[in-house]
Structures are given as structure tokens and as C-alpha cells.
Amino acid sequence: MSGNGYRKSEETRQRILAAALEAFGSSSFSEATTRQIADAARVSLPVLQYHFGSKEGLYRACAEAIVERYREHMAPIATRAREALRSNGTAAAARKHLKVIAGALAGFLIGSNEVKHWAHFVGRELREPGPAFDILYESLWKPGVEVTARLIARARGIPEKDPAARIHALLLISSLLAFQSGRKISLRVMQWSKIGPKELAMIRSALDAQIDAIGGGA
């Protein structure tokens, strides 16, 4: 490219986005401030407006970035589960896939430090809908619940459309969140100082027990 040539724009954009993900992760939309984000990204305030139009535009861009990376992580697992559903899998196979999904999700949400902010972002947006609700619901929550519900239906031997399957899916996913959005309180209840590999293993084993029970309960 002629002229000044080198485009610094994209790099600046990414720096702002990273700072915003951090800010909107640990604070809500209205609590986080654009100044704080601009400082963290080492840009001046108007630069932020230039790239994303408004605070709300930046917020939505964060949601899209999260969806992108979340999909990269969970897509292969979800795809394998859907393939298993297409073939006439047994109840035991469905339970196995449920355990894989729940375990991966637990590791993803609770273990990784990088993703912690994203998980907070998503959780808050889904509890108290804001400007990014629709994109998160359609791209993350809905497909996740759907595949979980279908697996549960298969495990219990009930029709896929049975509302009970969806209720159980919500209960299962929600219980996972005990150690995510309720991290602080869980630590205190369990008298843990952190959730390391040992603690994560205990949680996974409890989830597995719960999934085994779902299958047998029908």
C-alpha cells in the first residue's frame, strides 16, 4: 500500500477489544467506564468512539468476539455429540457424551483463567438482558441447551420434544454455574482456597454422578 502504508488501525482495535473484554467481564455494562477501558488499552477516549461508535457498539463487539472463540472451543465436542444422536445411540452412549460436554464445559468455565471474564460477561448478560442478549442467546445458549436436552431425552428414553428434557437440561447447566458465577461463595462453603485440578476433579465426579442418576431416573 502506498502513502503511509502500514495500518495501525487493526492492532489498536484489538487492543481496545481486549481491554473491553476484561472490563465488561468484571463489571457490568453500566459500571464499566469507557475511560477505564481507554486507559487500559493505552489510547485516548475519542479513539474508542472512532473504532466502535459508542459504548454500546463496543459492548456488542465484545459479545461477537466471545461467540467466535467459544465456538472454536466447543464446536468439535458438540458436533461429535450431534453425530452420536443421528446414529441410533444407546442411552449409555448419550450419558457418555453428556459427561464429556459437562466436563469440558466445567474445565472451560472454571479452570481457564483467560476465559473467566468471558464467562462472567455471558452469565450477566443472560441473567439481566442488555444490548448483547440476542446474539449470545442464539449463538451460545440455545444450541448448548438444545444438544444437552436431546442427549438427556435419549438417556432417559423419552421423546426429544418432551419439555421435561429441557427442564433437566436447564437444571444441569445451571448447576454447573454454581462454581462459576458463584465461585466466591462456593470457595467459602467448601473451605477451598482455590479451584485447582484436585477440586475440579471432585466437581467433575459429582457431575458425573448426577448424569448417571438422570439416566436411571426415568
Partner DNA sequence: GTCTATAGTCGGATAGAC
Partner DNA sequence: GTCTATCCGACTATAGAC
Q: Which residues bind DNA (CB under 7 A)?
A: 7-9, 12, 32-36, 43-47, 49-51, 54-56
Q: Minimum CB separation from DNA for residue 191, in Å?
A: 34
> Does 212 interact with a second copy (rule: CB under 8 A)?
yes
Q: Which of 23, 38, 58, 181 binds a second copy (CB under 8 A)?
A: 181
Site for a second copy in 6-65 (CB under 8 A): 28, 30-31
- Count of residues interacting with a second copy (CB under 8 A): 46
> Does 196 interact with a second copy (rule: CB under 8 A)?
no
Instruction: Count, in order, helices (H) and strands (E) of the chain.
Output: 11, 0
Distance CA 22, CA 129 (A): 19
CB closer to DNA out of 43 and 94: 43
Which whole-number Å values give the CA distances from 116 to 91, 156, 179, 184, in the listed order?
A: 33, 33, 11, 13
Contact in structure between 188 and 204 (CB atoms under 8 Å): no
> Does 201 interact with a second copy (rule: CB under 8 A)?
no
Q: Which does 39 bind (CB under 5 to 8 A by kind): a second copy, DNA, none?
A: none
Distance CA 134, CA 201 (A): 33
Closest to 94 measured CA to CA, from 142, 168, 149, 141: 149
Q: Which of 35, 71, 80, 142 binds a second copy (CB under 8 A)?
A: 142
CB burial class (10 A; 0-12, 13-18, 19+) of residue 173? middle
Site of interaction with a second copy (CB under 8 A):
28, 30-31, 126-127, 129, 137, 141-142, 145, 163-164, 166-179, 181-182, 184-186, 188-190, 202-203, 205-207, 209-210, 212-214, 216-217
